[in-house]
Amino acid sequence: MKKTGRENSDFPVQEYFQGVIDGLTDDLKIVDRDYRVLYVNRTAARRLFKEPEQVLGHKCYEVFNHFDRPCPYCTTQKTFETGETLHTEFGYTDTEGDPYFFLLTTYPLRDPRGEIPYVVEITRDVTQEKRLEQEVIRSRTLKAIGQFAAELAHEVRNPLNAISFQMALLRKIKETCTDTACVGQISEALEIVNEEIARLTKITEDFLTFTRQESLRPVLADVREVVETALDLLRGDLDERGIKVTVETGEDPCMARIDRDRFRQVLVNLIRNAMDALPEGGQIRISVIQEGDGTCVLSVSDNGPGIPKSLARKIFDPFFSGKPKGTGLGLSIVKNIVEAHGGAIALVPSTSGTTFRITLPGGNKNA
């Protein structure tokens, strides 16, 4: 019988296979449909300060995550169900407050009948890559600060000039006013001054938010709950304007690792943006779903006039605004926060209304 190419090889594959696997810097384990660990390399075992033999036979969610049941949105279970190779990012914060990030990939192992009795899990530490990404974002932000400092000065100068003019007018009225007939003029001038002060304050606050370099404090959270807290903050304004909000979610939680406060700001900005585009009695629809690979997808839509194609490319640019009194930083802030979470935001093309779509890495904690 003629030997195959592999059989003709003089390399002792079996003899060196274990050394190759144990030499990997990635965690590798094989689990069955009952979540039992049937194989684990030394790298994965060392993470638990154990020998591989001490891990074998245990449930993966017990020994690696200290859970008493399978992990929420278990990627391994999804691979058993779909037969697909899946990728999920997850992370945690250590006792010193330092974040760590990992990429989990699950591969199906098929038997001769095509069935999947086992799944291979490979976990790679991508913390350094994430930190480099954050550094790139920081560098881009600093560059943007330099580019738009002149524009900020221009935006601030306009309301200051208006305030100075109105104050001069008030002084002149005060000098010439001899009766109560001047009260109306003074009140009108004061109202303009107050409006310009409020505008200047908003510009300053938005610019500080845009340039802020605070580290995120991500926790595993249900995005649906953050949507509700954002709506609670805006409920009074929504009711006053008769704007109806519909929230569509799946039955299961939509889990993602997010900084609750910063992500609530994303939602507040998007909802306010929709409110500004709507007349009284308009409608806003918010959708929150978790896709099969664990990705969290959030959409905010309105039935307003929409955004012209000619402006669509510029809407995330700092200081670009389609509103007469907008600062032009709201959507830039949203984009920065979403990308800092490892997510993405896009304007969905539409013939009517406006829809913003956010995708976030799933919050699967299975390692």
Which of 130-144, 267-281, 339-353 has the lowest average pLDDT? Answer: 130-144
Do 302 and 274 meet the contact criterion of CB atoms below 8 Å apart? yes
User: For residues 41-73, b (16+ Cβ closer than 10 Å) or e, as one string?
Assistant: bbbbbeeeeeebeebeebbbbebbeeeeebbbb
User: Taking a C-beta distance cutoff of 8 angstroms, is the pair 297, 349 a contact?
Assistant: no
Cα(189)–Cα(200) distance, rounded to whole angstroms?
A: 17
Mean pLDDT on 121-146: 80
Confidence of residue 366 (pLDDT cuts 50, 70, 90): very low
In angstroms, rounded to a whole number, what is the distance separating the alpha carbons of residues 340 and 336?
Answer: 6
Nearest to 263 by CA among 301, 291, 295, 224: 224
Confidence of residue 313 (pLDDT cuts 50, 70, 90): confident
Domains of the chain: 5-125 (3.30.450.20), 131-211 (1.10.287), 219-360 (3.30.565.10)
> What would the two tokens of residue 178 be?
């001899």
- In which residue are the tokens 């300060």 written? 49
Confidence of residue 278 (pLDDT cuts 50, 70, 90): confident
Question: Does the structure show a pLDDT above 50 at 327?
Answer: yes
- Which of helix, strand or coil describes residue 353? coil
Tokens of 362: 């799933």
User: How far is 27 from 122, CA to CA, in rounded Å?
Assistant: 5
DSSP β-bridge partners for residue 90:
102
Is residue 346 within 8 A of residue 54, CB to CB? The reply is: no
Pick the more confident residue, 212 or 77.
Answer: 77
For the cut 70, the answer to whether the pLDDT of residue 10 exceeds it is: no
Instruction: Give 363's DSSP letter.
Output: -
- At residue 212 the predicted structure's pLDDT band, cuts being 50, 70 and 90, is low
What is the distance between the alpha carbons of residues 335 and 337, in angstroms, rounded to a whole number?
A: 6
What is the structure's pLDDT at 322? 64
Supply the pLDDT for residue 365.
Answer: 44
Cβ atoms of 65 and 366 closer than 8 Å: yes
Residue 7's pLDDT band, with cuts at 50, 70 and 90, is low
How buried is 178 (Cβ within 10 angstroms: 0-12 exposed, 13-18 middle, 19+ buried)?
exposed
Distance CA 195, CA 343 (A): 36
pTM of the entire predicted model: 0.52
Pair 337, 265: CB distance under 8 Å = yes
Query: What is the distance between the alpha carbons of residues 123 and 183, in angstroms, rounded to a whole number?
Result: 73
Residues in the chain: 367
**What amino acid is encoded at 79 in this protein?**
T
Rg (alpha carbons) of the chain, rounded to whole number:
28
- Confidence category of residue 300, pLDDT binned at 50, 70, 90: very high
pLDDT band of residue 119 (cuts 50, 70, 90) is: very high
Whether the Cβ atoms of residue 238 and residue 245 lie closer than 8 Å to each other: yes
Residue 108 Cα distances to 30, 56, 224, 304, angstroms: 10, 19, 32, 46
Alpha helix stretches (DSSP H) within 177-286: 183-211, 223-240, 260-277
Q: What are residue 248's DSSP bridge partners?
A: 287
